[in-house]
Structure 1
Amino acid sequence: MAVESYNFLLSEGKTGPKLITKKMPFSYEDYSLEVQGVFVNLGTYETLQASDILISPKHSLMNNVVFASKYDREELSTHLKVERDFVDFRIPKLEIKNLDFGFKSNTFMVAVFEIGINKPSLEMYRDKRLPDDSRIKPLYSELLRKLPIDIDITSLSISDGYIAYEEKIEDTKQAGKLYFEHLNAQISNINNTLANEEKTRIETTAEILGEGQLDLEWEFQVTDTSDAFGVSGSLKNLESEKLNTFLKPNLRTRAKGTIDVMYFNLWGNHRASRGDMKMKYHDFEFEVLDKDRLKINKVFTFIGNLLVNDGSKTDKDGFRFGAIETERDVTKSFFNYLWQNIKSGILDTMTGTGKKDA
């Protein structure tokens, strides 16, 4: 770790025979720490930097925070034996209100009333040509539960964020890309203390691929060792052609048609999940591409479109219904798990009876 300069002020600092034996061997009335030019080496692959940091009990501020890979995406692959994300995560401004810390029994604890993150930008890239990382990936509830410290964050908000994710599969010229703009999120009760009985709740809205509106609500109980969770959401006004930048390089498929609106609800744990979906869409078709991704495989395309309902057979409100049922691959992330659930629902909605279960 390195810093260009720092200023530290501590007022009314005290210690004594009783205090010196405690985990925090002193007391104080107030403090402030100002740091310029922060650089932290996080290991083999990533670094953390910030232009300036101010830390005080009531108000803390970090400017121009950058968590990033040391190498560009092509060079990173040459240093890896298994898959690992190239990351470029930038936060122009991060504010913290009412920061407190100390020891509770023998455990270090950090408590924060509110964290605000303004206009973050996260770009990730994964080279899928590398071998899979077969380690088990814990869900977020387990990650929080097993932290070596206690945390209690009342509220965390994200405003006007951007996320882009790309995958490189085989030796295609272009990586498949998904991106989300104008992302806003509100997260409450990030708390891993044993006394916490409330659920962690996440509410997000974002614009997907420049036009579709995505809304997502997600909740879980950190202290629940089954890692049970619930997710509900909706997707509106998405021209399926927009997905082709991701579908074509990665899945060798191309879609036509419009998703007017899609609603889904699902419940699960660290092993399996199930739920339901309803969709209103029209003129839907799939094209399966040959290996070179330049020509249409007419046989598979014909068979696929025999199975897929184009959206014309619906209930009186224009919806088709489907079921969600998925077993988790524990070597994949939560977001892969979520995508598998949504994919399960879409396939059942488009290829099943389309009727709502009684």
Structure 2
Amino acid sequence: MNHKKAFKILVLVVSILSIYKIADYYVTHKIDSYLKAEQLNYDAISINLLFGNITLKNVSIVKDSLHFKTEKLKIEGVSYYQYIKNKSIYILDLKTINSKITGKISKKDNSGKKQKDTLKGESLALKIKHIEFKNLKVDIKKNDNFPLTAKSIYIKINNFELDTDNNKSIPFLYSNIETSIIDFETQYSKVQKVKFSKLIFEKDNLSLDSLEIVPLKSREKYIYHVSEEKELMTLLSEKVVISDIKISEKEKFSFTANHILFEEVFFNLYLDGTVLEHPDKRKDLYSKSLRELPFNIDIKKVEIKKAKIVYEEYTIKENKPGILNFDNLNAQISNINNNNVRENNVTTAKIQSNFMKSSPLDIEWTFDINNKNDNFRISGSLFNVTSQNMSSFLLPTMNAKMDGYIDRMYFDFEGNDFTSNGKLNLDFKNFNIKILDKKKSKKTVLSWLANLFIKDSSKNGIVKVKTENVERDKTKSFWNFFWLNVEKGLQNSLI
């Protein structure tokens, strides 16, 4: 190779490098100016123009009242071809490492939506092949001023595509999402918060470890922090698994799942009924509540395994709360959906439990979501109910005590949003009622009158009765309506 040819090659290489350096400087300056105009702050920027890579260190951005920080933001594989030909932004990989979100979520502003509408025609299409957020921490306040925290979040999204349709609640499309969350906690009222130790979502399956809903106020004080009479809740579930989740948004947001499992559950409800009046607000039956959800839901089966439910009601001052226990509860609920096109919308729940630890209880309950009268049927059996079991609830709440026991009880009630009818079969022995004063001593005259109205033949033996036109109190729950039917059957059999 002669010197002239070598010189030309050298000049060409130097020219290419110079052009590259000039272009690199120009692009870096342009990107730097653009990012700063978008109020994105960072300590250093590194750009590889050849491969379309951008790396930012110690990035921070403030959006409304939220503050986002990350140690490193990496953008790789920016396609110049897509930008030049299709006026779209295509990125191969976007990654953040050790990020944190703090601040407060602001309330939605309609003016912002209008502004977005006006810019919609000017915005560029955005597609990202892979998105990955590693070790994202969250410590924010929601727009209700209650806190929300998460110790560590991992998110991976494939085939992300920004969707500028304002009518959709999910503003992007994707082919797959995987995420894990460690130590999540948020408050949702003045007296309750929810938390879990770990969440994993991958391949359309979600699992939760140590899900908890816990009180923030004591039993003595919580009632003074609520606007109306309501229960204080405690829920603990060692494991929650949701299988085959599908989320779509065509005409309406839709959630479907093949199977939901709650395992090792403790559920406690405590009601202080001594301070506030019972609210006169309507409580819908479950069928109507599902039917009127603002989104579509379709869950093939829900299972509850190894659960314990405790209901406590404090209604008479100076007395202890009345207690109802349901131990070793297992339930299978099928066909939870509000699809008004489907022919079969009958939801079926089968429940097995030990009432007050020693009394086997079986329930089968069905209702049709599409039925506007909210028709339902509930049937089952209860065995070996002792006076001690019943008195633990009757004594504190009604100053009444029951002697004797029920060998077996069969019930079958059908009803709707207005009334119900049914059958109750009882086999009990040595039945007696004692009405007590506040000091728990027997009021002899009242007890004598109470037992005077109990049929002598009913104190021992089998009784079959019917209940008719039991009216529902629409300010109370379905389970209160169910108890009214049992109570009416007991009255018809005893008095």
Q: Which residue type is aligned with residue 240 of structure 1? A: S
Moved more, 328-337 or 52-61: 52-61
| Match status 1:294 vs 2:437 | no
| Aligned-partner Cα distance in 2 for 1:309–1:64 | 51
Q: C-alpha distance in 1, partners of 2:431/2:359? A: 16
2:261 aligned partner, one-letter code: G
The question of whether the paired residues in 1 share the 8 Å contact of 2:429 and 2:459 is answered with no
**Residue 223 of structure 1 aligns with which residue?**
370
User: Per-residue deviation at 1:169?
Assistant: 1.4
Q: What displacement does 1:45 show?
A: 2.8
1:104, 1:219 → 2: CA distance? 30
Give me the whole-angstrom Cα distance separating, in 1, the residues matched to 2:417 and 2:254: 27
Equivalent of residue 462 in structure 2, options 310, 319, 329: 319
Cα distance, 1:134 vs. partner?
A: 1.4
- Check conservation: 2:385, 2:405, Cα contact below 8 A: yes
The code of the aligned residue for 1:113 comes to N
Q: What is the aligned partner in structure 2 of residue 275 from structure 1?
A: 422
On the 8 A contact 1:282/1:310 being kept in 2, the answer is: no
| Total equivalences in the alignment | 343
Local SS of the residue matching 1:319: strand
CA distance in 2, matches of 1:170, 1:108: 46
Letter in 1 for 2:463: R
Work out whether 1:344 is the aligned partner of 2:488.
yes
Cα separation, 2, equivalents of 1:81 and 1:43: 11
Is the partner of 2:220 in helix, strand or coil?
helix
Structure-1 separation of matches of 2:234 and 2:335: 27
1:89 to 192, 214, 235: 235
- 1:335 paired with 2:479, answer yes
Q: Does 1:260 align with 2:407?
A: yes
| 8 A contact 2:310–2:326 mirrored in 1 | yes
Structure 2 residue 380 is the aligned partner of structure 1 residue 233: yes
1:262, distance to aligned residue in structure 2 (A):
0.3
- Cα–Cα, structure 1 residues 215 and 251, in superposed 2: closer, same or farther, change >3 Å? same
Between Structure 1 and Structure 2, which shows a larger proportion of helix residues?
A: 2
Distance in 1 between residues matched to 2:323 and 2:456, nearest whole Å: 25
CA distance in 1, matches of 2:299, 2:231: 27
Q: Which residue is equivalent to 2:336?
A: 190
CA distance in 1, matches of 2:383, 2:464: 16
Following superposition, which runs of at least 4 residues in structure 1 exceed 6 angstroms of deviation? Answer: none
Within-5 A mapping of 1:199-218: 199-218=346-365
CA distance in 2, matches of 1:147, 1:245: 38
Q: Residue 334 of structure 2 contacts residue 348 of structure 2 at CA under 8 Å; is this kept in 1?
A: yes
Check conservation: 1:280, 1:311, Cα contact below 8 A: no
Contact 1:58 1:98 in 2 (8 A): yes
Preserved CA contact (<8 Å) 1:288 1:297: yes
Q: Which residue of structure 1 lines up, in the alignment, with residue 85 of structure 2?
A: none
Question: Matches of 1:306 and 1:168 in 2, distance apart?
Answer: 29
User: By how many angstroms is 1:44 displaced?
Assistant: 2.7
The answer on whether the counterparts of 1:117 and 1:157 sit within 8 Å (CA) in structure 2 is yes
Cα-to-partner distance string for 1:253-302 (whole Å, 9 max, x where unaligned)? 10011111100111111111111110111111111112x15111111211
Structure 1 residues 158 and 339 mapped into 2: Cα distance closer, same or farther (>3 Å)? same
Find the residue that maps to 1:246 and give its secondary structure.
helix
- Give the distance between the partners of 1:84 and 1:20, measured in 2 at CA: 42
Given the two structures, how large is their TM-score scaled by the length of structure 2? 0.66
Q: Helix, strand or coil for the counterpart of 2:221?
A: helix
Query: How much has 1:73 moved relative to structure 2?
Result: 1.0
Once the two structures are TM-superposed, the CA of residue 49 in structure 1 deviates from its matched residue by: 0.6
Q: Does 1:125 align with 2:251?
A: no
Letter paired with 1:337: F
CA distance in 2, matches of 1:295, 1:265: 37
Aligned AA (1:110) = F
Which ranges of structure 2 fall in alignment gaps of 5 or more residues? 1-147
Larger mean CA deviation between 340-349 and 38-47 belongs to 38-47
2:214 aligned with 1:68: yes
Tell me the distance in 1 between the aligned counterparts of 2:322 and 2:356. Answer: 12
What's the offset of the Cα at 1:59?
2.2
- CA distance in 2 between partners of 1:25 and 1:83 (Å): 39
Check conservation: 2:421, 2:467, Cα contact below 8 A.
yes
Name the counterpart of 2:256: 111
* 8 Å contact kept, 1:284–1:310: no
Of residues 136, 141, 144, the one that matches 2:287 is 141
Output the amino acid matched with 2:260.
I
Q: CA deviation at 1:28?
A: 3.5
Correspondence for 2:132: none
RMSD between aligned alpha carbons? Answer: 1.8
* Matching residue's letter, 2:432: E
Choose 52-61 or 133-142, whichever is displaced more.
Answer: 52-61
Which gives a bigger RCO, structure 1 or 2 (Cα 8 Å, sep 6+)?
1
